[in-house]
Amino acid sequence: MTSSWQDLYQELTGYVAQNPQIKLGHELIDIPEEYRSGFYQRFNAVRTAFVKSEFSKLIQKARPLQDSYAGAEGELMAQLSISRPDITPQLRWFITDPVDGLQRAVYDLLFDLLRDKIKMESFIDTGRRAITSFEKKLQQEGYQNWAILSLINLLKPRGLYHVSLEVGSSSIATVEKALHKKDKVNEPETASKISLVHCLYNIFIVPDFIVYSTLLNRYVSIRSEVNLPSWSAVNASENMEWLTMDNNTLFAPGLILVYTHENLNDLALIRDAGRLARPDLALVCRNLDNWWEDKPFEEIDFNREIIKPRLGMHIISRQTVPAEITERLAYQEMVESLETGDNPASAGELTITDTGFEFSAMDKFVDMLVSARQTAKP
């Protein structure tokens, strides 16, 4: 017995057979314009039905992310009077319509099936794996972005700034981007939009954005996914603490670094080819079922020792972490604190917070920044 999506697939192949002008061979795809509407209407119907038939639980699971992200995004747009933040197209499709987002994972695969490059069994098996993997990536990315927007909302932002990395589009500039060079990092300038889209490589790693927090009476910069820079800055702020770092150092996915300062220009640079600005706070977002079973703490703890966040590194989990995991981590932290004492250069604590999509759960981290600000006052 065939499923609904397989029936729709038969309609698609029938449409192709009835219109021999459509060429779908191993080395050729040619769909004349007059047949494209009919073809893609049927083609997209197959993908949509495949997702609905095979992944109803993933569609349901996406709804809390949809609602929570839309709420955080809308509030930030209202507070700062800005346009909608830029996120990856894949995530935007997913949070707008989970079915539409997930069905894009089998676009090429369905063409392979139509062109007899794979069999139906392979389409089903590979398609299931592709969509499952794609959904995990989007859930993680979406949760991280939700955490960033929620944190900024709680800090009562006013004014938005960014640091431009534009160096031109000439062939010389393109080559220079990939080579080590010493140059100035630009000063922050006013912005009308936030971008949470990242490249794996940049000339410098700069904040995703900077806001002025009326709660802290300081500027706050946020950077997620601290990737690899190729240039060294000649004008890095002397008012920031810099940590020497191997330029090939990669950090755990889901990392968010938070910085505060009374001077806007001091927050222009996060990382260059040989150093990292020591953050006030580090957050690591996790939104995968049973993520703690993959022994992630060694990598996160290793990152903490490198980054040395003043207020510690804190794992934000959408899922409720078993008590034995949090108790074991707390015990390890206690032993470590006894060994290191009150060393001001220590890496800070490591904690887990079962945040879910509770906006108020992020208050914990705001309170840390407020307390640190009050302590720092003369």
Structure tokens belonging to residue 111 = 């063409």
Same domain, 113 and 198: no
* Chain segment 4-43, per-residue pLDDT in tens: 999 999 999 999 999 999 999 888 899 999 999 999 999 9
Average pLDDT, the chain: 91
d(CA 129, CA 132): 5
Same domain, 86 and 158: no
d(CA 96, CA 137): 16
Structure tokens belonging to residue 368 = 């840390």
pLDDT (average), residues 119-131: 97
* Chain segment 317-371, per-residue pLDDT in tens: 999 999 888 888 876 766 665 555 555 446 678 899 999 999 899 999 999 999 9
Which tops the pLDDT comparison, 217 or 336? Answer: 217
pLDDT of residue 345: 47
How many folded domains does the chain comprise? Answer: 2
pLDDT of residue 200: 78
pLDDT (average), residues 52-62: 95
Same domain, 27 and 166: no
| DSSP track, 53-103 | HH-HHHHHHHHHHHHHHHHHHHHHHHHHT--PPB--HHHHHHHH-HHHHHH
Same domain, 354 and 209: yes
pLDDT (average), residues 240-263: 94
- Position 168 pLDDT exceeds 50: yes
Among 142, 166, 187, the domain boundary falls at 142
pLDDT (average), residues 109-122: 96
At 87, the pLDDT band (50, 70, 90 cuts) reads: very high
Same domain, 232 and 352: yes
pLDDT of residue 296: 80
Among 115, 142, 169, the domain boundary falls at 142
pLDDT of residue 339: 57
280: three-class secondary structure by DSSP: coil
* Chain segment 169-201, per-residue pLDDT in tens: 555 556 666 688 999 999 999 999 999 999 877
Same domain, 239 and 178: yes
E strand or H helix at 314: strand 313-317
Same domain, 69 and 155: no
pLDDT (average), residues 213-221: 97
d(CA 90, CA 337): 42
Domain with 171 in it: 143-376
Count of Cβ atoms closer than 10 Å to residue 93 Cβ: 17
- Position 159 pLDDT exceeds 60: yes
Same domain, 97 and 180: no
329: three-class secondary structure by DSSP: helix
pLDDT (average), residues 292-307: 88
* Chain segment 269-286, per-residue pLDDT in tens: 999 999 999 999 999 999
Residue 268 · residue 185 · CB < 8 Å: yes
Among 125, 142, 159, the domain boundary falls at 142
Same domain, 71 and 83: yes
Same domain, 213 and 159: yes
pLDDT of residue 298: 87
What residues contact 341, with CB distance under 8 A and at least 6 apart? none
Same domain, 159 and 300: yes
